[in-house]
């Protein structure tokens, strides 16, 4: 197979029945290899650029070609030298009484990051292709929401990474006044190890040279990690740990403040970054920055709106709640009763109203003090609230020691049951009161009014009926229930 060694095309080949893979000089040159060729051939791996799955067994280019006779595939090739997007065309030939599988590798990049994957285009074509990519990314980032933000940004990093032919593309965010940073978004090419989860909480002391350069010059560009200056020893060690041969990073600003940076790597080999490589990465960084700024502003507005809604809710609660007991106040009672009557008229329903008065409360206050009186009113209010079983029921403090309970869609029998339940619960509380008409514990008198809702019925009329029933209960000795007749 000496002829294959002399051909200018980049070739990999092996005997159909053999396992050893050979490469010609053009192939070694394509991957930038001068030495360590055996390790290179032993570690070659082929990946599907779409699924990122390694091509093995029947899907491996050599095996696929042996089975089908010819192939033409787009693949990602990883090696100990550099990683390349390639078009792999293969055929089976006969030579020296043997069948040989020959794969022709055509780089989709030709060592130029600006070339669109799987195509060899002029600089103008590449510029137009990049503008189309930029437009597509921008349009897809317009209608972002917080739920799909991270996922979509990583997809856009992937689109740029695949266009550029780099091995890794990522975003880091600074925090703690820029002294710490996290890898927040990352895309990796097939066969490349991701590092996002482990690159959290990196401090300025971990990468001091990088921090200084990215903050002062806004660009960190290294064509060959091996050539980093001595002052960048820590950076060199980290890049070597990650297998990075070349790195390019551009600062990102959010609302005129340094947010972090966007970067991309070439794994396994050096790379000569060009002016348009930096320009393209800057443009992608600006799009991401604008997107993050828009999302940040949106979230700030949503937070302000939520805080305003919460404040309004709190103000509404304060305006409609009794300061001592926490249940509805007179204002909310009046509004709710008017609404209940209107709804009752619409639905032709009954409406019941309970008026409750704490028996001999002035005497209770005089005996036990106002502090004890306040606590007693709180317990009565809590009991009334707990006896309101339905969503539309409302317990309110009407004034002083008087309370009211609105019971929509409730007939007289049901209203009487609620009144009895209130008295029973208060008996269970057993608030001591020697002057009480109810077994030396605090008691209440209750008046009930139940009416069919008609246009003629007003809230004042219903309140008057319940108040008269309450007056009767108090006149007949207190600690009892009376129904308006």
pLDDT, average across residues 12-33: 90
Q: Which two tokens stand for residue 242?
A: 């990650």
pLDDT, average across residues 340-359: 95
Comparing CA positions, the residue from 68, 71, 56 lying closest to residue 105 is: 71
Report how far residue 381's alpha carbon sits from residue 179's, in angstroms, rounded to the nearest whole number.
Answer: 55
Report how far residue 214's alpha carbon sits from residue 219's, in angstroms, rounded to the nearest whole number.
Answer: 5
User: Percent of the chain, pLDDT > 70?
Assistant: 89
Query: Residue ranges per domain, the chain?
Result: 2-107, 123-298, 330-483
Q: Which two tokens stand for residue 132?
A: 């189309």
Task: Give yes or no for a contact between 150 and 173, defined as CB atoms under 8 angstroms apart.
Answer: no
How does 73-96 read in b/e, with b if 16+ C-beta sit within 10 Å?
bebbbbbbbbbbbbbbbbebeeee
DSSP H or E stretch at residue 62: helix 61-68
pLDDT, average across residues 69-89: 88
The active-site residue out of 154, 162, 186, 401 is 401
Pick the CATH number of 330-483 from 3.10.180.10, 3.30.70.1730, 3.30.450.20, 3.30.70.270: 3.30.70.270
Q: What is the pLDDT of residue 115?
A: 37
> What does the pLDDT look like over 446-467, one tens digit per residue?
999 999 999 999 999 999 999 9
What backbone torsions phi and psi does residue 458 show, to the nearest 5 degrees? Answer: -120, 165
371-373-379 Cα angle (round to 5):
110
- Which CATH number applies to 2-107? 3.30.450.20
> What does the pLDDT look like over 412-434, one tens digit per residue?
999 999 999 999 999 999 999 99
What's the first-to-final CA gap in the chain, in angstroms? 116
401 a catalytic residue: yes
Task: Give yes or no for a contact between 461 and 378, defined as CB atoms under 8 angstroms apart.
Answer: no
pLDDT band at 102 (very low <50, low <70, confident <90, very high): very high
The residue with greater pLDDT, 127 or 401, is: 401
Q: What is the pLDDT of residue 289?
A: 77
> What does the pLDDT look like over 172-186, one tens digit per residue?
999 888 899 999 999
pLDDT, average across residues 79-96: 86
Beta strand extents in 255-319 (DSSP E only): 257-267
The answer to whether domain 123-298 and domain 330-483 are alike in fold is: no
> What does the pLDDT look like over 136-190, one tens digit per residue?
666 666 565 666 677 878 888 888 888 888 899 999 999 888 899 999 999 999 8
DSSP H or E stretch at residue 335: helix 330-347
Other beta carbons within 10 angstroms of residue 139's beta carbon come to 9
What backbone torsions phi and psi does residue 38 show, to the nearest 5 degrees? Answer: -65, -45
* Highest CATH level, class, for 123-298: alpha beta
Q: What is the pLDDT of residue 203?
A: 93
Lowest mean pLDDT among 249-253, 256-260, 290-294: 290-294
Q: Radius of gyration (Cα) for the chain, nearest Å?
A: 40
> What does the pLDDT look like over 359-400, one tens digit per residue?
999 999 999 999 999 999 999 999 999 999 898 999 999 999
């Amino acid at each position: 197979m000496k002829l294959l060694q002399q051909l200018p095309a980049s070739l990999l080949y092996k005997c159909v029945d053999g396992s050893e893979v050979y490469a010609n000089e053009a192939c070694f040159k394509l991957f930038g290899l001068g030495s360590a060729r055996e390790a290179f051939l032993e570690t070659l791996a082929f990946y599907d650029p779409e699924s990122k799955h390694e091509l093995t067994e029947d899907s491996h280019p050599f095996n696929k070609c042996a089975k089908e006779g010819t192939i033409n595939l787009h693949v990602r090739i990883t090696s100990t030298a550099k990683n390349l997007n390639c078009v792999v065309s293969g055929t089976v030939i006969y030579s020296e009484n043997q069948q040989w599988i020959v794969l022709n590798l055509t780089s989709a990049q030709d060592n130029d990051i600006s070339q669109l994957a799987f195509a060899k285009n002029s600089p103008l074509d590449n510029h137009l292709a990049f503008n189309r990519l930029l437009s597509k990314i921008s349009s897809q980032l317009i209608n972002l929401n917080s739920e799909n933000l991270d996922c979509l940004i990583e997809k856009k990093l992937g689109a740029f990474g695949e266009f550029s032919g780099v091995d890794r593309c990522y975003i880091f965010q600074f925090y703690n006044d820029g002294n710490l940073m996290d890898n927040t978004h990352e895309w990796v090419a097939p066969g490349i190890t991701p590092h996002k989860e482990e690159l959290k909480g990196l401090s300025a002391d971990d990468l001091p040279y990088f921090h200084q350069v990215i903050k002062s010059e806004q660009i960190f560009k290294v064509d060959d990690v091996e050539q980093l200056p001595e002052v960048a020893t820590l950076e060199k060690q980290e890049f070597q740990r990650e297998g990075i041969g070349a790195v390019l990073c551009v600062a990102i600003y959010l609302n005129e403040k340094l947010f972090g940076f966007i970067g991309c790597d070439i794994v396994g080999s050096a790379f000569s970054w060009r002016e348009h490589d930096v320009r393209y990465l800057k443009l992608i960084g600006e799009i991401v920055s604008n997107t993050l700024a828009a999302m940040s502003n949106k979230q700030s507005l949503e937070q302000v709106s939520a805080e305003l809604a919460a404040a309004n809710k709190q103000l509404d609660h304060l305006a409609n709640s009794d300061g001592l007991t926490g249940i509805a106040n007179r204002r909310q009672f009046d509004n709710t009763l008017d609404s209940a009557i209107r709804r009752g008229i619409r639905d032709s329903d009954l409406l019941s109203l309970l008026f409750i008065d704490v028996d001999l409360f002035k005497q209770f206050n005089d005996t036990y003090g106002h502090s004890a009186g306040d606590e007693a009113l709180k317990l009565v209010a809590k009991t009334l609230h707990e006896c309101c079983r339905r969503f539309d029921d409302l317990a309110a403090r009407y004034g002083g020691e008087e309370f009211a309970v609105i019971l929509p869609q409730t007939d007289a029998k049901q209203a009487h049951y609620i009144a009895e339940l209130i008295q029973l619960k208060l008996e269970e509380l057993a608030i001591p009161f020697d002057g009480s008409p109810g077994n030396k514990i605090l008691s209440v008198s209750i008046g009930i009014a139940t009416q069919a809702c008609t246009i003629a019925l007003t809230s004042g009329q219903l309140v008057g009926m319940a108040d008269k029933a309450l007056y009767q209960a108090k006149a007949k000795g207190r600690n009892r229930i009376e129904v308006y007749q």
